[in-house]
């Protein structure tokens, strides 16, 4: 096991990217094409992601448009969106589904903030796990005589600074998402 700052940064970047993906699926008062990423549609004998049977576009900040490619799947797509737990009610217009994004009430906003907080905490834990792995490999290198005790301390400080930077970025992302959720 060897120490690589680049590897630690790559793994911490992965935790941030995962957080960004989870945040994009949280419904705010604004329309987003990522909002329907989690919707699975029963089509062609199996369940497939919505993006494999239709294209999603934002027509304005409170309206999504879903263009279903195959007429036979329009009904299933409508039901999948209604049953997704996102609180959306599509309006069918031929092969298009228009989805108005209702404004969020206070209770739902508070709920979404809690969910965002859980996602952020999971990202912080992932980043701390990367730090732990880095520290373990440094201690092993020192024990095996590959690095001196002084070098161990300086590299440990470097890993801690890196961890602090990434945790701060998670906190910033959470703050921005909470502000977006509370926006009326």
| Assigned architecture for domain 5-26+105-183 | Orthogonal Bundle (1.10)
Considering the chain, tell me which residue range(s) the CATH 3.30.1360.40 domain(s) occupy.
33-100
Considering the chain, tell me which residue range(s) the CATH 1.10.132.20 domain(s) occupy.
5-26+105-183
Confidence of residue 133 (pLDDT cuts 50, 70, 90): very high
Angle, alpha carbons 64-106-86 (nearest 5°): 35
The model's pTM is 0.69
Rounded CA Rg of the chain:
22
Residues 90-121 pLDDT 10s: 999 999 999 998 877 888 788 888 889 999 99
Residues 64-84 pLDDT 10s: 999 999 999 999 999 999 988
Residues 29-69 pLDDT 10s: 677 788 888 789 998 889 999 989 999 999 887 899 999 99
pLDDT of residue 184: 62
Domain 33-100: CATH class, spelled out: alpha beta
């Amino acid at each position: 096991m060897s120490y690589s700052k680049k590897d630690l940064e790559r793994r911490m970047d992965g935790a941030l990217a995962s957080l960004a993906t989870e945040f994009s699926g949280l419904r705010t008062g604004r329309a987003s094409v990522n909002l329907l990423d989690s919707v699975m549609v029963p089509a062609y004998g199996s369940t497939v992601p919505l993006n494999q049977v239709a294209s999603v576009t934002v027509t304005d900040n409170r309206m999504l448009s879903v263009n279903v490619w195959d007429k036979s799947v329009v009904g299933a797509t409508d039901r999948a969106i209604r049953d997704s737990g996102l609180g959306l009610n599509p309006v069918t217009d031929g092969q298009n589904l228009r989805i108005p994004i209702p404004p969020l009430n206070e209770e739902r906003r508070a709920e979404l903030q809690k969910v965002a907080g859980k996602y952020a905490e999971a990202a912080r834990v992932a980043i701390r796990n990367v730090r732990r792995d880095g520290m373990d490999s440094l201690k092993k290198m020192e024990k095996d005589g590959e690095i001196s005790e002084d070098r161990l301390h300086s590299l440990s400080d470097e890993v801690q600074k890196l961890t602090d930077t990434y945790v701060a970025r998670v906190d910033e992302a959470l703050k921005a998402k909470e502000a977006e959720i509370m926006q009326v």
